Amino acid sequence: MSSADTSRRVAFETIRAVNESDAYANLLLPKAIARAGLSTADAALATELTYGTLRRQGTYDAVIQIAADRGIQEIDPAVLDALRLGVHQLLSTRVASHAAVNESVDLARSAGSRGASGFANAVLRRVSRDTPGEWMSRVAASARSDDERLGLVHSHPVWIVRAFRRALAAEGRADELEALLTADNAAPRVTMAALPGLAAVPEDARHTPYSPFGFRLGGGDPERLVRESAGRVRVQDEGSQLAALALTRAVPARPGEVWLDLCAGPGGKTAVLAAEALQVGARLEANEVSPVRAGLVRHAIAGIPLEVPVSEEDGRTRPGSGGYDRILVDAPCTGLGALRRRPEARWRKSPADVAELTQLQGELLAAAIGGLRPGGVVAYVTCSPHLGETAGVVSEARRAFGDSIEELDARAVLRGISDAEPDLPAQKDGSGRAQLWPHRHNTDAMSITLLRRS
């Protein structure tokens, strides 16, 4: 078996685990690559094949359905995954057609029932006869509505397409929808953070436009840099950096303040808060209800010379009453803002998840507001632009707490942090919420709201 064939096998097995066992590609793939002993180039191929196939799965399913002249639900799941991987190579990579067809047929043969290889061979050869543009035209023509067309062509469930349109329309930018959907299907560049006061941005790195300590490497191994810095340099999306900074720099900090990261796992934002607390003489506490994720938080802050106690309590009761100057509520959410990184999430979530999560989000935000001292600030953050999880939750909190809280202008805070001017249009509801976007800011779609206790 050639090294490229091994890369395909790793990609196929990862995709199978994602679709069959609800595994997470970002956790499973690195282990599979290491186990297979892939070179850097072969690991890159396996990564591109895995994530590219998962991102475009909805589009490829439409192609397969047309080429096979049968519904995808009628195709054996393992054979379907082999077909998806083959169609990705045929329509979205420079892999030679014969290699894409032959190796995908072999995967189908090894995973499917009798006759699977002949069926897979017929479907993939049918796909290989026409150009990607011709297939996209067929897919678009098969749609029953404009929203379904966008969903099929850009590989997003229709309900997510509509949620994104509403979130963009809340800024008067609904015309950016296709740009957003396109950005969701592009592999994100690796962004890093040099924790303030603890590490410096490497001289040969390029600063990111918004976070004062964010950067991108021109080359080299980011994980090596993380190890050598004892975690004081870390891989972290620029939006995540800004969410933590929005809290610490919303109003001037004073020595002796007490801060809380209420939903801290896996600890990236906690690390930024700890570095900032160290600089201003504040005390930081962290909480994460999941013991496994609490362990990740402890690991994330291990290299920071500040004692940060990490509790494992229910965040809805953890803040108590009136003891904190700043609280970060990085709430559990649908994760629709990070579909570039976790492409399988788009196929696992449903509108029902939003209703369930918004109740929890509201309870966490209410607990945080109740835990603030007078003048204290809470940052309510979601890695989702869905208006139900963002504006809706905040609106309910403002209604419940009335004049006892006021909203700060998160957009102005981010402008004060950033070197470049972030494009943050006003929200039509008049709120101070800041919404970051992949297509506009090259970050995850992070929503940031700042509320201050009167």
Task: In whole angstroms, give the CA distance from residue 211 to residue 440.
Answer: 15
Region 428-435: mean pLDDT is 97
Task: In whole angstroms, give the CA distance from residue 447 to residue 100.
Answer: 40
Tens digits of per-residue pLDDT, 390-410? Answer: 999 999 999 999 999 999 999
- CA–CA distance from 49 to each of 86, 110, 142, 437, 443 (Å)? 9, 19, 26, 25, 23
Tens digits of per-residue pLDDT, 46-64? Answer: 999 999 999 999 999 999 9
Tens digits of per-residue pLDDT, 279-302? Answer: 999 999 999 999 999 999 999 999
- Let me know the angle formed at the C-alpha of 117 by 112 and 121, rounded to the nearest 5 degrees: 135
pLDDT value for 1 = 58
For the chain, percent helix, then strand, then coil, each to nearest 5? Answer: 55, 10, 35
- CA–CA distance from 226 to each of 51, 199, 265, 453 (Å)? 24, 11, 19, 38
Catalytic residues: 383
Residue type at position 165 = R
Model confidence at 4, pLDDT cuts 50, 70, 90, reads confident
Region 107-124: mean pLDDT is 89
Q: Which tokens is 238 given?
A: 């620029």
Task: In whole angstroms, give the CA distance from residue 189 to residue 192.
Answer: 10
Task: Name the nearest CA neighbour of 22 among 349, 354, 357.
Answer: 349
Region 94-106: mean pLDDT is 92
Give percent above pLDDT 70 in the chain. 100
Task: In whole angstroms, give the CA distance from residue 297 to residue 283.
Answer: 16
pLDDT at 220 over 90: no
Q: Which tokens is 175 given?
A: 């015309």
Task: Name the nearest CA neighbour of 452 among 390, 414, 406, 410.
Answer: 406
For residue 330, the surrounding DSSP H or E stretch is strand 324-330
